[in-house]
Amino acid sequence: MMVILRNILVIAFFSLIAGCSTVQPGTGGSWVGFTETGQASYYADKFQNRKTASGALYKHELHTAAHKKLPFGTTVKVTNTKNGKSVVVEINDRGPFVKGRIIDLSKSAFTRIGNTSVGLINVKIEVLR
């Protein structure tokens, strides 16, 4: 019973945090053109084949990502601000819930623009569609 209550409280907490985000759609109520800068992280190996918030299974080899507010299915260009490399990902999960981090990339997407040994990279994200 305590485990169930704890899980409910954790879900409520993260829902509250997500609801307090200051991220807003771009012009005309559409997210297209919306940009944001901050840090990107990547999924740990333990998440392989686990369900994401959208219900899809997480796969390292797919170019997917988690964002706190962008709708599932949103296509986002993520650019490493240090080296200029970019990757296009699809939002299919929620997070990351760590201050300063704006997007959590699949491992393959992260390796396209940075080295996983670094752990975090500074990025700019832009909604394409």
Cα four-point dihedral sign 62, 65, 66, 69:
negative
Residue 115 has pLDDT above 50, yes or no: yes
Q: Which domain holds residue 93?
A: 25-127
Please report whether residue 18 resides in a domain.
no
CA 5 to chain centre: 27
Q: If DSSP codes are grouped into helix, strand and coil, which group holds residue 77? A: strand
Tens digit of each residue's pLDDT (9 = 90 or more) over 24-37: 455 445 888 899 99
Average pLDDT over residues 5-20: 42
Tens digit of each residue's pLDDT (9 = 90 or more) over 53-109: 999 999 999 999 999 999 999 999 999 999 999 999 999 999 999 998 999 999 999
CATH number of the domain that residue 122 is part of: 2.40.40.10
Q: In the chain, which ranges are continuous DSSP H helix?
A: 2-19, 107-113
Please report whether residue 11 resides in a domain.
no
The structural domain count of the chain equals 1
Q: Is 0.75 surpassed by the pTM of this model?
A: yes
Between these two residues, 32 and 123, which has the higher pLDDT value?
123
Contact 60, 43 (CB under 8 A): yes
Please report whether residue 105 resides in a domain.
yes
Task: Retrieve residue 52's tokens.
Answer: 């994401």
